[in-house]
């Protein structure tokens, strides 16, 4: 029975390893993530003696580190949920007023997500989810 439980645990862990998880906090910079990860690793190492040894101790250390990151506002999220492959863009691009632009044409691009207006090629604007406002001003 004990062997069956160990085998079930090993299979469960192997299945979990196929999906990559990353730490995510909306609006956090890479620097904030690195700082939080450093602090939580440091705190976990300092508390390591209280976790015991073996698999149980390793599990308790991992849970401690996860609670630390959660306390700092970071949560483990499936990487696939955050990183979507941008659509492939080819052929002519259409502007907000129906104008047609070649993929390499310089355009003014608007991004609704953050309200930014900037100059890109029509292909980059479309691939990034922007809206072509018109030709780029010289």
Indicate whether 100 pLDDT > 60. yes
- Residue-level pLDDT at 121: 85
In percent, the amount of the chain with pLDDT more than 90 equals 17
Q: How far is Cα 103 from Cα 111, in angstroms, rounded to an integer? A: 18
Q: How far is Cα 113 from Cα 116, in angstroms, rounded to an integer? A: 8
Q: Which of the pair, 89 or 1, is modelled with greater confidence? A: 89
pLDDT band, very low/low/confident/very high, at 11 (cuts 50, 70, 90)? very low
Report the pLDDT averaged over residues 105-119.
83
Domain ranges of the chain: 19-82, 93-135
CB 120, CB 135: distance < 8 Å = no
Q: Where on the phi/psi map is residue 83: left (φ > 0), alpha (ψ -120 to 50), or beta?
A: beta
Assigned token pair, 23: 């730490």
Q: How far is Cα 115 from Cα 129, in angstroms, rounded to an integer? A: 12
- Residue-level pLDDT at 10: 47
Indicate whether 72 pLDDT > 60. yes
Alpha helices, DSSP H, located in 47-99: 54-71, 79-82
């Amino acid at each position: 029975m004990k062997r069956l439980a160990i085998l079930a645990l090993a299979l469960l862990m192997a299945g979990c390893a196929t999906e990559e998880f990353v730490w995510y906090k909306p609006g956090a910079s890479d620097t904030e993530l690195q700082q939080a990860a450093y602090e939580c690793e440091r705190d976990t190492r300092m508390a390591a003696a209280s976790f015991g040894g073996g698999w149980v101790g390793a599990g308790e250390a991992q849970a401690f580190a996860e609670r630390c990151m959660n306390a700092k506002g970071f949560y483990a999220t499936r990487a696939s949920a955050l990183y979507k492959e941008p659509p492939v863009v080819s052929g002519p691009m259409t502007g907000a007023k129906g104008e047609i632009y070649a993929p390499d044409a310089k355009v003014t691009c608007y991004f609704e997500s953050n309200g930014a207006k900037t100059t890109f090629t029509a292909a980059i604007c479309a691939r990034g989810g922007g809206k072509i406002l018109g030709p780029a001003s010289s």
